[in-house]
Amino acid sequence: MRPDDEARMWRQTMLPSRQALAFAGLLAAFGIAIWLGYRGWTPPQTISGTCAEAYARARNAGDSLVADKIRLNAVRSQGTWTCRDDQLYVEAVRLRDTLARLRTEDQSDRDSIAIAFTHHDTLFMRRMAQADSARATWLDGIVTRRGWPPRSVLGDTAAEAAWLIVQHGPSDFQERMLPILENEAKRGEVSPANVAMLFDRVSLHRGQPQRYGTQFEVKGDAVVPGFVEKPAAVDSLRAFVGLPPMAQYVKQLESMYHLPVEWPPSPPPPLRP
């Protein structure tokens, strides 16, 4: 074999081909892109259009979920970045902000409920019921147009707010929302514990026993549970869906209402012959 043939063979076997070098370059670029995305990098001052408003509000609120959805759906067009569906993401951010505000209103009412019970303030209770109904009407419209607000897009706080609106809404609204929330829980968009509390509430409205022991009411000078299907099994059922043990829940109720809490429930009166 001549020396130049040997050198040519060495280059072919030992040196990478042009195709291999190009492939390696693509891998390196892809790795850099992934790293930059992990670092939360976006081209400075390039995201424009209505999605710029949504992106800025999401980043300022520390909502990386919504911000990343906007960034990943941005496309390069004529030297600037725009969104494939600007209005969708602007609406998502506005919906998240509205849910956060409504959650604050809902919980503010509940912070005062113990005082209202103590002073038999029926006016406060009527006003709270009206506010609960108004929030439920608003959420009903959202669910009808867009479906249930997804936790994977809006975050845990907004998802919790949407559930609170259902939990404190009118009984017919709760019944309509229960199968929707049960389906969303299977997809990870709603907490199983929240579905369990709604299930108990709807069951009592239907005249059926509750399963998880979540529903209590003030009767006289005590807080008593609604009829429970299997009191002895409640703690295991609660653990399965992520609810705290009854002993812990009873302490929370005592702190909220400043009244003694009856648990375990008194046995039902014997049936007359």
User: Is residue 131, in this structure, part of any structural domain at all?
Assistant: yes
Rounded mean pLDDT, 166-175: 97
User: Is residue 88, in this structure, part of any structural domain at all?
Assistant: no
Question: Quick one: tokens of 115?
Answer: 């005082």
171-224 pLDDT tens trace:
999 999 999 999 999 999 999 999 999 999 999 999 999 999 999 998 988 999
Domain residues for the domain of 226 are 97-257
User: Is residue 231, in this structure, part of any structural domain at all?
Assistant: yes
User: Is residue 211, in this structure, part of any structural domain at all?
Assistant: yes
Q: What DSSP line would sit under the chain, residue for residue?
A: --HHHHHHHHHHHHSPPHHHHHHHHHHHHHHHHHHHHHTT---TTTB-SHHHHHHHHHHHTT-HHHHHHHHHTEEEETTEEEETTHHHHHHHHHHHHHHHHHHHHHHHHHHTHHHHHHTT-HHHHHHHHHHHHHHHHHHHHHHHHH-SPPHHHH-HHHHHHHHHHHHTS-HHHHHHHHHHHHHHHHTTSS-HHHHHHHHHHHHHHTT--BSSS--EEEETTEEEEPPBS-GGGHHHHHHHHTPPPHHHHHHHHHHHHSS-B--SPPPPPPPP-
User: Is residue 86, in this structure, part of any structural domain at all?
Assistant: no
Pairwise CA distance, residues 188 & 225, whole Å: 29
What pTM value is reported for the model? 0.67
Domain count of the fold of the chain: 1
Dihedral sign for Cα 142, 147, 153, 157, please.
Answer: positive
Q: Which of 40-44, 70-74, 123-127, 227-231 has the highest mean pLDDT?
A: 227-231
228-269 pLDDT tens trace:
999 999 999 999 999 999 999 999 999 988 899 999 998 766
User: Is residue 219, in this structure, part of any structural domain at all?
Assistant: yes
User: Is residue 234, in this structure, part of any structural domain at all?
Assistant: yes
User: Is residue 262, in this structure, part of any structural domain at all?
Assistant: no
